[in-house]
Amino acid sequence: IVTTYFPGYQDFVNKIRSTIENSFVGWELEEVLLLDMSLDDGDSKIQNQLKKLQSPVILLYCTKEEATYIFEVANSVGLTGYAYTWIVPSLVAGDTDTVPSEFPTGLISVSYDEWDYGLPARVRDGIAIITTAASDMLSEHSFIPEPKSSCYNTQEKRIYQSNMLNRYLINVTFEGRNLSFSEDGYQMHPKLVIILLTKERKWERVGKWKDKSLQMKYYVWPRFELYPDSEEREDDHLSIVTLEEAPFVIVESVDPLSGTCMRNTVPCQKRIVTENKTDEEPDYVKKCCKGFCIDILKKISKSVKFTYDLYLVTNGKHGKKINGTWNGMIGEVVTKRAYMAVGSLTINEERSEVVDFSVPFIETGISVMVSRSNGTVSPSAFLEPFSADVWVMMFVMLLIISAVAVFVFEYFSPVGYNRCLADGREPGGPSFTIGKAIWLLWG
């Protein structure tokens, strides 16, 4: 937060601090910078103070004249541009028809809707609140209390809670619209708009706050489309592709109330693939990514000092070469649609030929395990591949097959059993049967 001593700055800082402490989105208030614009040597001192800022999102509370000077100094120290987002209230933006040249492109302001709720309408509602409250009190109590203090007297303490009229002022409904206020004097149901200073130096309405709900024009914030110097952004802003694969990358929907990502998550885009798509439908839907790989990406981006746009791959998964064309995360990097891929990507020879891999940050644990040898080999080690039953059966079968082979050899031998029968001669000895062949081998 950057603020001057403009009245109300303490309430502004306290409200922002309270909102951050009670928020579950994951905001963090890094620093509150209080600038003294009345000092003669304020130029150098303000420069030194602004140089200490490291946050990419800066809230500014001051007048329009003070903001013009602060933005001039901020531009000299490099705090304007696509790497920084400045958010200001309506008192800084002032008249939307005239934009000071010092105001940076991409400046965001929250103000009343000048198109739907202009100054004449607000003045009319202000008068209606007073007259309606006075009329209601007069009808119920038959009198209106006289003022006990003056708006011009700063010494006298005003006690709003004891004022009977105050209870009617904070609960007014006019023409069917709720114009009530809180105990602190803030409007309960304001109609606000979010306006953005484009590169054409015009304010564009990009969001609307009504009935405690926020409606945005863009599903994905057009942060980098606002700046024409695209070559300058290529060095430190990267397009990164990832793949949903728990626990490395977990994809969640945005918070339905705030429309933002929760704590420990980063915004990521998921492309919408439809056949009958109209021009009004967005190309991407906003998601939130978290997980082990996302934590590594956040650490690297903070150390190396770069920003990124993260999106989910839709063409395949990790990456495979089909008909000479890569798909998946590898394909996104090969075709230069993405500068880098983050995920549980396995390194192999084919992928290493087309992309460069970082040092492996995790081992999968998939391996081949064998028992550890004690250094000596047993004489019966050759018998270990088979059990004893298998070895016995193999031995028996070997003997039987050998016996059959010997019998066949003896049967067709010139002096064997079959030849003697063919010549009409009596065998010279007892007949050599297959049973005798088996008995011979066993013997």
For 422, phi then psi, to 5°, come to -70, -30
End-to-end CA gap in the chain: 104
Give, for all 443 residues of the chain, the pLDDT tens digit.
999 999 888 989 998 898 888 876 667 888 899 998 876 555 678 888 888 888 888 999 998 888 999 999 988 888 887 778 899 988 777 777 788 888 988 889 888 776 567 778 878 888 888 888 888 888 887 777 776 666 555 555 445 434 677 778 888 888 777 788 877 777 777 778 888 888 888 888 888 887 777 777 765 565 555 655 544 445 578 889 999 988 899 999 888 777 778 778 888 988 876 666 565 566 778 889 999 999 999 888 888 878 888 999 988 788 888 888 999 999 999 998 899 999 988 888 899 889 999 888 887 777 788 777 776 777 888 888 889 899 999 988 988 888 888 888 877 776 665 555 555 555 555 566 777 777 777 77
pLDDT in tens, 51-73: 888 888 899 999 888 899 999 99
Tokens of 35: 């600038």
> 233-252: string of b/e by CB count within 10 Å (b at 16+)?
eeeebbebbbbbbeebbbbe
Which residue in 34, 105, 38, 31 sits closest to 65, CA to CA? 38
Query: Per 3-state DSSP, what percentage of the chain is helix, strand, and coil (rounded to 5)?
Result: 30, 20, 50
The predicted structure's pLDDT at residue 293: 92
Contact of 222 with 106, CB cutoff 8 Å? no
Distance CA 220, CA 21 (A): 26
The predicted structure's pLDDT at residue 342: 93
Domains, in order of start, for the chain: 2-116+191-216 (3.40.50.2300), 124-178 (no CATH), 236-352 (3.40.190.10), 382-442 (no CATH)
Q: What is the DSSP letter of 179?
A: -
Tokens of 5: 């001593």
Which residue in 201, 203, 177, 3 sits closest to 113, CA to CA? 203
Report the half-sphere exposure of 272 (CA within 13 A, side-chain side). Answer: 16
The predicted structure's pLDDT at residue 163: 67
Global model pTM greater than 0.75: no
